[in-house]
Each structure stands twice: as C-alpha cells, then as structure tokens.
Amino acid sequence: MRIGIIGAGIGGLVATAALQADGHEVAIYERRNDAGSIGAGLTLFSNAFAALDAIGLGDTVRAVSSTAIGRLRSGQRQPSGRWLVSLPPSETPTVRSLLRANLHHALVNRLEPDSLRLSCSVCASADGSPVLNVNGREERFDLVVAADGIRSDARTQWGLNREIRYAGYTAWRGISASSGHLADEAGETWGRGARFGIVPLPDERVYWFATRTTPPGGTDANARDTLLRLFDSWHAPISDLIEATAPDAILRHDIYDLADFPTSFVHHRGVLIGDAAHAMTPDLGQGAGQAIEDAATLTLLLRGADQRTLDGRLARFDSLRRPRTRGMWRQSRLTGRVAQITNPAASKLRDLGLRAAPSSLMANAMAGLQRWEPPKHLGRW
C-alpha cells in the first residue's frame, strides 16, 4: 500500500518506520528544513514500549533511553521538600527517560533512504481523498496519515476539529549542562500555581520542567533569571538545576490542548494520529506514549489490508483509539487544573488529600494508564 504521512514528529516517524518494515511504500513529509527534534527530554511508560515491541521498534528506543528514574524515590512534594506522595523504587511505575533529539535520530535511522522529505509545504485534500499537494504538485496515495501536531492543517481541512484551548499555564523546559545535581529523588514539586519536575537522563544529566499559571504570550528577557526568582525558595536541587542550564537553552511554551475532542479520527482515506488527533496537556506524561500507541495500532491493523478492507480497518482504528485517548485527554486536563491551583485554601486541601492517599493508590492509577494490548482478531474482516 502507498501511504503518505504528514509530520516527522514521534508519531509520524514511528508509523513510517513500522509501516515500511511491513512492506508498505511510505513517504513522510516535514515542513522544517532539518530532521532535528525541538524539545528537551521526555518519559515513556510501559504502554509505549508494549506498542513499540509489537512493531519491532522497542529495542531501538531502549538503546537511547534510561531506567534511572525507576531506581529513585519519586512522587509529589511541597516547595519545602516535604513529601505529599512518596513512591519507593519498588512501587515506581515502569518508565524510561530520554532526550527527544536522540529518539528522533534513532527513528530517522530506521527509515528507508530518501523517504523523509524535508522543507515541504503539504496540504491535504478537504474531501479526505488520499491526495496531498506537496510544494505545489499533486501526490496520490492509498492512505494519508496526518501526524502534523496540535495545530494540524489536515484536521482543519477535514473539518474534524479546529479549536485549541490555552490550559492556563506556561511551561519552561531545560537540561542541566552538567551532572551531579541529582541525589536519590525525582518527581514533581507542587506549589500554588507553579510546579517543578525532575527527571534523570541516560548521561547523568537532568531534564527538568517548570510551570507557572500566567496569561499566554509572555516572554523572558532572561529565562534563567525569571525562573530563579520564581523558585528561589523551593527545595534543593531546584535552583542548582536552573543555574546549570544556559539561558538560551531554556525553552518556554504556553500549554494548549484541543478545546473539544474530535468526533472521529478518520475522514474517508485520511486518518489523524498523535497530537493532531488528541493533543492533551503534558500532565500525565502520556502525549508521546499515545502517539506511539496510535502508530502501532494503525500499523497492526493495516497488515494484510487492501482497498476492499481498508475502510473497515480505519473504522476499527477509530473505535479502538478514540475512547482511550479521550479518557487520557480529560484526565490530563483535570490533573493540570488540580496541580496548578492558585487559591491558598484550595491548595491546602489538595495537599491534605494527597498526603492522606496511600501510595499504592497512585501506583495502581499509574498502572491502569500503562495497559496497552495490540488489536485482537486481526484476521476477522
């Protein structure tokens, strides 16, 4: 089958590599002029690796990731350093951390030569026919996969959902420029309208992120100075991590998700995956994982498909992926609202509730998010 994929993010690259390995002819188009990834670090839970293993990419990603976070005490803390929820390593969910750039590079290396097309202006057909306008010329396929992010042009063209929503907070992300800033603890610290997260990386550096409830569109004259002012009274090693990051290496992004969930991920012979389908806030750490699940599910469903059975396979994809990702989308939004509470009385109640909850409750909740199985009954069509 000839397949065109829009967007060389995580979902698009995983889908391309897996579909090519299954014998499909796949071209992937990216508007940027390089194959690098924009971003700092990320975490992938066991559901992502179950999906990657199902399509033969698990070991590729394990090779560029680390299980260091699974050896540390983790959970939620207050700015003073007092634990609200603490998980010992034995209860920490299975999770690996990695650099986005390393993941992107590893996936690009799995692609067939010349199948990644850079600097491409791509427009999907409004009627959902498998046709792409690429830099002014028409390209025909059997299927078009849109993995072009939260502001997906294909999603707009197909009339599936056009609006995005500001989540109410801004995030900063960085990677410490040197090792030695991490003891035996990781996780998130929750204040009033602000958070700070600490994630160890494979090279003993640390990926960190910070959030602040603030109007969108803000800028920093010096991001490091801004963050040092915001978090100067928070527990160690937060200030050290910020100090160890060059100001021009700190990324600032306003956080958005889809305002409403699409009524379908499929429009005739076009299908949405990743943030194009279900962009969610990062509060569960499942954005990349769900894009990988999408790519794996689609790949498995397309095994043995032809023109006669393709519509049924796409309908099956939609019925499998929309309920799961809709739940994640809702839960991520709710978690962000709770974590970013600014009211002093409400934040005290939140903290009391977290301290009262047994650690096993959080461990079980995380385990539920990490359950993924390949589609069943692939041969019954």
Q: How confident is residue 91, by pLDDT bands cut at 50, 70 and 90?
A: low
Residue 69: predicted pLDDT: 73
Whose tokens are 């049924």? That residue is 312
pLDDT above 70 (res 10): yes
Q: pTM of the entire structure?
A: 0.95
pLDDT above 60 (res 379): no
> Which residues, in sequence order, are CB contacts of 164 under 8 Å at separation 6+?
150, 151, 256, 257, 258, 259, 279
pLDDT above 80 (res 77): yes
Please state, rounded to an integer, the average pLDDT across all residues of the chain. Answer: 92
Give the residue-averaged pLDDT of 247-272: 96
Pairing verdict, β 95-99 and 41-45: antiparallel
Residue 183: predicted pLDDT: 62
Residue 380: predicted pLDDT: 47
Q: How confident is residue 122, by pLDDT bands cut at 50, 70 and 90?
A: very high
Give the residue-averaged pLDDT of 280-305: 97
| Of 28-32, 71-75, 145-149, 159-163, the least confident | 71-75
Residue 319: predicted pLDDT: 97
Residue 35: predicted pLDDT: 66
Give the residue-averaged pLDDT of 259-286: 97
Give the residue-averaged pLDDT of 167-184: 84
Tell me the residue type at 109: N
The total number of residues written for the chain in this structure: 381
| Of 68-72, 128-132, 320-324, 352-356, the least confident | 68-72
> Which residues, in sequence order, are CB contacts of 152 under 8 Å at separation 6+?
146, 272, 275, 276
Residue 331: predicted pLDDT: 96
Give the residue-averaged pLDDT of 82-98: 81
The partner residues of 5 in beta bridges, in order of sequence, read: 28, 145
Report all structural domains of the chain as residue ranges with CATH numbers, in order of start: 2-369 (3.50.50.60)
**8 A C-beta contact, residue 87 and residue 363:** yes
Residue 88: predicted pLDDT: 74
> From CA 197, how far away is CA 206, in angstroms rounded?
10
Q: Which two tokens stand for residue 203?
A: 């090279």
The pLDDT tens digits for 179-227 are 766 666 788 999 999 999 999 888 888 999 999 999 999 999 999 999 9
Residue 40: predicted pLDDT: 86
Sign of CA dihedral 250, 251, 254, 259: negative
pLDDT above 80 (res 345): yes
> From CA 92, how far away is CA 13, in angstroms rounded?
29
pLDDT above 60 (res 45): yes
Residue 36: predicted pLDDT: 66
| Of 23-37, 105-119, 176-190, 350-364, the least confident | 176-190
| Of 90-94, 201-205, 214-218, 233-237, the least confident | 90-94
Tell me the residue type at 340: Q
Q: How confident is residue 271, by pLDDT bands cut at 50, 70 and 90?
A: very high
Give the relative orientation of helices 287-301 and 10-21 as an angle to the nearest 10 degrees.
20
Residue 381: predicted pLDDT: 44
Q: How confident is residue 377, by pLDDT bands cut at 50, 70 and 90?
A: low
